[in-house]
Amino acid sequence: MQMSNELEQWLAGLLRPTVLLEAAALAVCVALAWAVLRATRKAAPGSIWFGERVFDGVLFPLLALALAMLARWLLQGQLPIALLRLAVPVLASLAVIRLVARVLHVAFPQSSLVRVLERTVSWLIWLALVLWLTGLLPLVLQEMEALSWRIGGTPVSLRSLVEGALTAGIVLVIVLWLSAAIEARLLAADGVNLSVRKIAANATRAGLLLVGVLVALSAAGIPLGALSVFGGALGVGLGIGLQKLAANYVSGFVILAERSLRIGDLVKVDNFEGRITDITTRYTVIRAPNGRESIVPNELLITQRVENCSFADRNLALNTVVQVAYGTDLQALMPKLALAVAAVERVLADPAPGVLLSGFAADGLELTIGYWVGDPENGTLNVRSQVNLAVLQCLTTEGVEIPFPQRVIRNA
């Protein structure tokens, strides 16, 4: 009966001619909110408040909600309110959904479960809104209160569990929001080494998540004293099955703290060579010059040998080998080759390139040209190609012959 009365009131209000005025007022509120955020979006594009576009941030439904409530207050005594009364809870629900979605996207930008969780939260919020609008929510809460049982001697109802879970979810969303904001500020700070900022951001997120979980458990009605048994079981699990995971997390903090490996270093791990692009608490990302990326557990970087080509000095030594014909005037040629290589853009002037006679081959004299580059992260094959072209041009200009194998065939 209550649900029928609620529906009759909503339908009767929406069938009045004055609903067109309410629709016009609501359209003006939405358009004004969109125009204001469109004009101010340049302040923080892509943030939780503004989103990637104007309408997918948190500020758009919040501003539209505030304007709709203002329009409802102004029209309250002049005409019966129906549509604006419906728009207020809808916009409030949309604001909550956008807040949860944006916080999850910022906190877990590469997680595939974010989209699923976002849809689940959206369906639950819209379902609760429908139950509230139709007047069924009190009946559902009453039935949930009737479903109860005892856990550890304490009576627990389904309603208390659901309300505790909702409170815990709100607390965790707020904690994730704070941790994402603090982490972004730390990583954007200038004047501090990137590895130090990374370990500070990881420690801040871990600490806030721990506090958030404890507060969420308390809000859900779970006594923290009961976690002692869980803590013992967790300790056994870490000692038996989760020791590798724990070792990777500890190794990640050790790497960031002692700075033996830093973001941007050129390293070689297990025959995979590349530049470190990210160091997380569990793994390190190494990107090769050809675009391939290797996800290396942090424990391997602590327990096995790692070649760091830019630990103490970012300069990297390269060399190229060329043969010239026997009888070539090396005393005149070698300085010219060194000058030609030094003219290549990325080759360092100090240490200067050098040319050495490294061997007597079967077909000619073997020259090894050594040089240094200061930006190995930009690739080595491209600069090696430029050096080879400069060497070839120098040999051509000087009229020096590059020998090639010759074979003599004799007829018996």
CATH number assigned to the domain comprising residue 243? 2.30.30.60
pLDDT band for position 2 (cuts 50, 70, 90): very low
Same domain, 127 and 29: yes
Same domain, 99 and 233: no
Same domain, 283 and 378: no
Look at the chain and report how many structural domains it folds into: 3
- Inform me whether the pLDDT recorded for 268 exceeds 70: yes
Stronger pLDDT, 25 or 377, i.e. the higher one: 25
Question: 396 near 360, Cβ under 8 Å?
Answer: no
Amino acid letter for position 79: L
- Inform me whether the pLDDT recorded for 137 exceeds 80: no
Instruction: Report long-range pairs for 220-223 (Cβ below 8 Å, ≥24 apart).
Output: 220/161, 220/164, 220/165, 220/167, 220/168, 221/156, 221/160, 221/164, 222/164
- Inform me whether the pLDDT recorded for 45 exceeds 60: no
Same domain, 95 and 228: no
- Inform me whether the pLDDT recorded for 273 exceeds 70: yes
Residue 362 lies in a domain: yes
Question: 201 near 187, Cβ under 8 Å?
Answer: yes
Residue 405 lies in a domain: no
Same domain, 329 and 389: yes
Average pLDDT over residues 115-144: 81
- The one-character DSSP state at 223 is -
Domain enclosing residue 38, as ranges: 2-147
For residue 33, what pLDDT is reported? 85
Same domain, 134 and 13: yes
Last residue of a domain, one of 103, 125, 147: 147
Same domain, 126 and 113: yes
Stronger pLDDT, 309 or 46, i.e. the higher one: 309
Same domain, 272 and 341: no
Residue 218 lies in a domain: no
Residue 103 lies in a domain: yes
Same domain, 7 and 92: yes
% of the chain with per-residue pLDDT over 90: 12
Average pLDDT, the chain: 78
pLDDT in tens, 367-398: 999 999 988 777 778 889 999 999 999 999 98
Same domain, 308 and 389: no
Residue 132 lies in a domain: yes
Average pLDDT over residues 279-288: 85
Judge residue 59's burial from the number of C-beta atoms within 10 Å of its C-beta, 0-12 exposed, 13-18 middle, 19 or more buried: buried
HSE of 302, CA atoms in CB hemisphere, 13 A = 19
Closest CA to 297 of 241, 252, 243: 252
Highest mean pLDDT among 63-77, 191-205, 318-332, 370-384: 318-332
Element (H, E) at 179: helix 158-188
For residue 195, what pLDDT is reported? 63
Average pLDDT over residues 77-92: 81
Residue 19 lies in a domain: yes
Residue 156 lies in a domain: no
pLDDT band for position 247 (cuts 50, 70, 90): confident
Q: Strand order in 354-360's β-sheet? A: 316-324, 365-373, 354-360
Q: Residue 108 CA to chain centroid, in angstroms?
A: 7
pLDDT band for position 356 (cuts 50, 70, 90): very high
pLDDT band for position 3 (cuts 50, 70, 90): very low
Average pLDDT over residues 133-158: 75
Question: Where residue 374 sits, what CATH number does that domain have?
Answer: 3.30.70.100
For residue 366, what pLDDT is reported? 92
Enter the tokens of residue 301: 């970087």
- Inform me whether the pLDDT recorded for 318 exceeds 70: yes
Average pLDDT over residues 328-344: 92
Last residue of a domain, one of 122, 147, 172: 147
For residue 1, what pLDDT is reported? 43
Last residue of a domain, one of 147, 170, 196: 147
For residue 227, what pLDDT is reported? 57
Same domain, 244 and 342: no
Closest CA to 298 of 268, 263, 265, 256: 256
For residue 119, what pLDDT is reported? 84
- Inform me whether the pLDDT recorded for 207 exceeds 80: no
- The one-character DSSP state at 353 is P
Same domain, 289 and 331: no
Residue 161 lies in a domain: no
pLDDT band for position 306 (cuts 50, 70, 90): confident
